[in-house]
Structure 1
Amino acid sequence: MKKILPFFSYAFHPIFIPILGTLSYIIFSERLYTVEQYYLVLFQVIIITFFLPLSFFYLLRTFGKVDSIMMAEVKQRKIPLIMQMVLTAVLLQKSITIDRFPELYFFFLGGLISTLIVFLLIYIHFKASIHMVAISALNFFVIGLSIHFQINIIYTIASLVLLTGIIASSRLYMRAHTQEELTVGYLCGVVPQLCLWCFWL
């Protein structure tokens, strides 16, 4: 098991979570929109939250600002986190608006708040686990979808809970984080999602 633990840190890197959250919404929503509209929003999410950050990462790596996509050093996190907040804000303002996709809007808004908290923690030299932020936010978003649409997706939720534990174990095994950093990261992901539930559940 220890030999495959690092795989989960890469396979479920935070950069994939916005796409997984959007796919979860498309799969579990009540088909309120056309297939074309769903494809369009998914395409926009992929461009803004995956390809643009990935391109920006390689640019930063070229200039020696980061050395790995895992951003092991606290000081390497500032620019990527700022970029992520800006791109998410653009997505919320131009594409996933509250009047068009309210459930998805609050998922990304919660992600924006979580990213801001992680960014502020940098200034006290605390490296909260972004992996835990991402997977815990996705977990509670899916739980929210289950409640909101009154659907039984207990196996999906249970799988995400199990995956959260595996990713936490992976980060510990790779010595990327301490238990405290994982716990704080988990709370940073969960609390904004829970607080925003009252606006869309």
Structure 2
Amino acid sequence: MKTIARLISILFFPFFMPIYGILIFFTFDLFRFYPLEMIRMAFTFVVIFAAFLPMLTIFVLSKLNVIDNIKLNNTSDRILPYSCTILSFMICTILLYRIYMPGFIYKTMFASSIAILICLILNFKWKISSHTTSIGCLFGGLLFASLKMMVFPSVWIYSVLLAAGLISSARLYLHKNTEEQLLGGFVIGSASTLLFPLLSVL
């Protein structure tokens, strides 16, 4: 059972969520009218700036002994990696905007950086689950996209909710987070990517 829980944690590693998210968004009918080259470019930006660079930063900081380990178990270890991740997400937001991606994509990316900032601030007093924050960002982004396009991709929305449940169960089983930390992360993530983009269009 522990092996399954670890596999779930790896499969839904926080930095993989933006990649899953952009792939889900690309299944929307809207992208049938987008040039393939533009889609490839957007995917590349997300892989590099929302996944690869943040993970590389954590690895390098660990090797330089700036942080204790790549798991970021200590409060102080999260400050610099989170800050670099926010910067990387912001760069990704700008690049997605400049290649004319739909608003729900770059706004979800921007709102995700806000969610990370909130977690960074709360980090000084309370640990928040980065796993559920990231899946929450994906869930909120899907809801925002649904409202913008007036569609309801039920399969994806229910699948993301199921994934959130699996992630929470796995993290609890591995004693990595408490129920409050998991719920707090999901609420912060989903509220950020749903409410911040919505407020920007009101």
**Correspondence for 2:167:** 167
Q: CA deviation at 1:123?
A: 2.1
**Correspondence for 1:80:** 81
SS at match of 2:189: helix
Instruction: Work out the CA distance in 2 between the residues paired with 1:151 and 1:92.
Output: 24
Contact (CA 8 Å) 2:93, 2:107: kept in 1 or not?
no
Contact (CA 8 Å) 1:29, 1:145: kept in 2 or not?
no
Contact (CA 8 Å) 2:111, 2:193: kept in 1 or not?
yes
Of stretches 13-22 and 98-107 in structure 1, the one that deviates more from structure 2 is 98-107
Letter in 1 for 2:34: Y
Change (3 A) 1:99 1:62: closer
**Correspondence for 1:141:** 141
Contact (CA 8 Å) 2:115, 2:188: kept in 1 or not?
yes
Q: Which runs of 5+ in 2 are unaligned?
A: none
Would you say 1:43 and 2:33 are equivalent positions? no
**Correspondence for 2:19:** 19
Change (3 A) 1:43 1:98: closer
Contact (CA 8 Å) 2:45, 2:96: kept in 1 or not?
no
Letter in 2 for 1:16: F
Letter in 2 for 1:62: K
Instruction: Work out the CA distance in 2 between the residues paired with 1:98 and 1:199.
Output: 18
Instruction: Work out the CA distance in 1 between the residues paired with 2:79 and 2:134.
Output: 17
Q: CA deviation at 1:57?
A: 1.8
**Correspondence for 2:153:** 153
CA-based RMSD of the aligned residues comes to 2.0
TM-score normalised by length of structure 1: 0.90
Change (3 A) 1:99 1:44: closer
**Correspondence for 1:131:** 131
Task: Note the alpha carbon deviations across 1:167-194, whole angstroms, 9 max, x for none.
Answer: 0111111111111111111111011122
**Correspondence for 2:179:** 179
Would you say 1:106 and 2:107 are equivalent positions? yes
**Correspondence for 2:59:** 58
SS at match of 1:123: coil
Of stretches 164-173 and 18-27 in structure 1, the one that deviates more from structure 2 is 18-27
Q: Which runs of 5+ in 1 are unaligned?
A: none
Q: Which runs of 4+ in 1 moved over 4 A?
A: none
TM-score normalised by length of structure 2: 0.89
Letter in 2 for 1:53: P
Change (3 A) 1:52 1:169: same
Aligned length: 199
Instruction: Work out the CA distance in 2 between the residues paired with 1:4 and 1:200.
Output: 42
Letter in 1 for 2:104: E
Task: Note the alpha carbon deviations across 1:83-125, whole angstroms, 9 max, x for none.
Answer: 00111111222x111782211111011101101100001222x
**Correspondence for 2:93:** 92
Task: Note the alpha carbon deviations across 1:9-57, whole angstroms, 9 max, x for none.
Answer: 1111111111111112211151242111000111111111222122222
